[in-house]
Each structure stands twice: as structure tokens, then as C-alpha cells.
Amino acid sequence: MARDGTPAPRDRPSSWASRLPWARRPVHPVLAAAIGAGLAAYAWVAGSAAPFSRGAFLAVLIPAAVIALIACIRPPQRIPPPERLDVLGTSYWLIVLTAFFEWEASAYKDNSWPWHPSFTDLINPLMGPHVIKSAAILVWILAGWALVRR
Amino acid sequence: MPPIPTRAITIIGFVILVAAIFALEILARRPGSRIPTVGQWLGYLMRPKLGRFLILLGWWWIGWHYFAR
């Protein structure tokens, strides 16, 4: 404790991440808008890449590399995870997700498009329009950022 | 009444399951709900570094699977 009553740095309850200077600094609205516009532009360009092309591969590799780099070097302040999950409440998720993957696995195993299409077979035609694919890429990038904050 | 084609049954199954996922998330966001939100159970799974790595790998795989292929 310091003489003036303020707690010394070693007395303050904090993690190393919260001590980083950028950890609690709010993002300026102009900067946030610029980042949003940049991400939208990136998603638009990435959405124009032809499937199975080098450009399409790089389009999904670059955001992953950037997010991995941020997670390792400059991690944002994380949202504290729950100490424990309710067993009954979590079981609902397990039932639904297991059913989903079972339904998908049966379609994948049958390999009988178009009679028993997999989820991917149904989603791919929806991704045809450029604007839809770009929006989906933008949502995917934002989901990755949300995961890094968890 | 004509039989429902297999394709329609498959699509209906996916629609029901995706609707169930959204319904669970809405129910989880009610005050006092025992159901965890997607963010909560993902955060729980991401507590250990291995879980964090696997969840982020899964996120990347989704992007590769749907946008690069």
C-alpha cells in the first residue's frame, strides 16, 4: 500500500491481460467504423474468389492468421467464462447438436445427392449470390473475433 | 396423397434442427434460464488452451469448408 492510501500496483487484483494498455481502452467510433468498412470490403473481395482457387484459400487463411496473431500477441479483454454449466440446460444443447450431426452424417454416408442432401449441399446454392457469400464471410470473421474474446 | 420425397424429409429435418438451435439460444437468453447460451458453453469449452485451439480450428474449418471450396 502506498503512503497516500492508493493501493500499490502489486496489491491491485488484476490479470496480466487487464494490465495491457490497450485492454480496456474503448474503440473510437471513427476507428470502429473504419474497421467495419475495411472488414466489409475484405469480405466483398473474398466473396468474389472462385471456389478451389488460391485466392479463396488465402481469403480464409488471412483472417485466421490475423486473429491467431491478435490472440497470441495482443489479446483483447476476455469475457469471463462460467465456472460451471447446468447439466440439464446443457443436455438440451447436446441433444440438438448430436441430432444435427447425426442427420448430417447420415446424409454424408449415403452420398445420395439430390435425394438425401447434406447440409453443405443445401447451403452451397444459397451462397451463389455474391452479396450473400460476402455477408456470410463477414459474419464468419466477426464470429472468429467473438471467439477470441471468449 | 403422394409420398413425401426423401429430399423433402431431409430438408425438413435440417430446418427443424436449425430452428431448435435458434429456439434454444432465445430460451437461454431469458432471465434465470438454466440453459447456457452458445457464448457461455463455448467460453466454458475454451477455458483450457486445447479447447480454445480446437474451437478456433473448428471456426477456421467452417470458413474453409463453405468459402474456399
Same domain, B24 and B52: no
Query: Looking at the 3D structure of chain B, how many domains does it have?
Result: 2
The conformation of residue B67, written as its DSSP 8-state character, comes to I
**Torsions phi, psi of A74, nearest 5?**
-125, 70
Give the helix, strand, coil percentages of chain A, each rounded to 5: 60, 0, 40
Å between A121 CA and nearest CA of chain B:
10
Instruction: Say if A133 is an interface residue toward chain B (CB within 8 Å).
Output: yes
Number of H helices, E strands in chain A: 5, 0
| Best to test chain B binding among A79, A126, A147, A149 (most B CBs inside 10 Å) | A147
Instruction: Say if B36 is an interface residue toward chain A (CB within 8 Å).
Output: yes
Same domain, B30 and B59: no
Residue-wise DSSP of A58-74: HHHHHHHHHHHHHHHHS
pLDDT score for A24: 53
Residue of A nearest to B5 (CA): A115
Same domain, B28 and B51: no
Same domain, B30 and B46: no
Q: Do residues A46 and A59 lie in contact, with contact meaning Cβ atoms separated by under 8 Å?
A: yes
Distance CA A12, CA A15 (A): 9
pLDDT along chain B (69 residues), means of 10: 80 95 96 93 92 93 90
Which residues span the domain enclosing B58? 36-69
pLDDT score for A131: 94
Record the pTM: 0.80
Instruction: Say if A51 is an interface residue toward chain B (CB within 8 Å).
Output: yes
Same domain, B9 and B27: yes
Q: Do residues A44 and A134 lie in contact, with contact meaning Cβ atoms separated by under 8 Å?
A: yes
Inter-chain touch B34–A86, beta carbons under 8 Å: yes
Inter-chain touch A46–B7, beta carbons under 8 Å: no
Distance CA A101, CA A63 (A): 26
Same domain, B5 and B31: yes
Q: Do residues A63 and A141 lie in contact, with contact meaning Cβ atoms separated by under 8 Å?
A: yes
Q: What ipTM is given for this predicted complex? A: 0.89
pLDDT averaged over chain A? 82
Domain definitions of chain A by residue range: 38-81+88-148
Residues of A in contact with B15 (CB under 8 A): none
Same domain, B25 and B43: no
pLDDT score for B69: 78
pLDDT in single tens digits along all 150 residues of chain A: 444 544 444 444 444 444 444 445 667 888 889 999 999 999 999 988 888 889 889 999 999 999 999 888 888 888 888 889 999 999 999 999 999 999 988 887 777 677 888 898 889 889 889 999 999 999 999 999 999 988
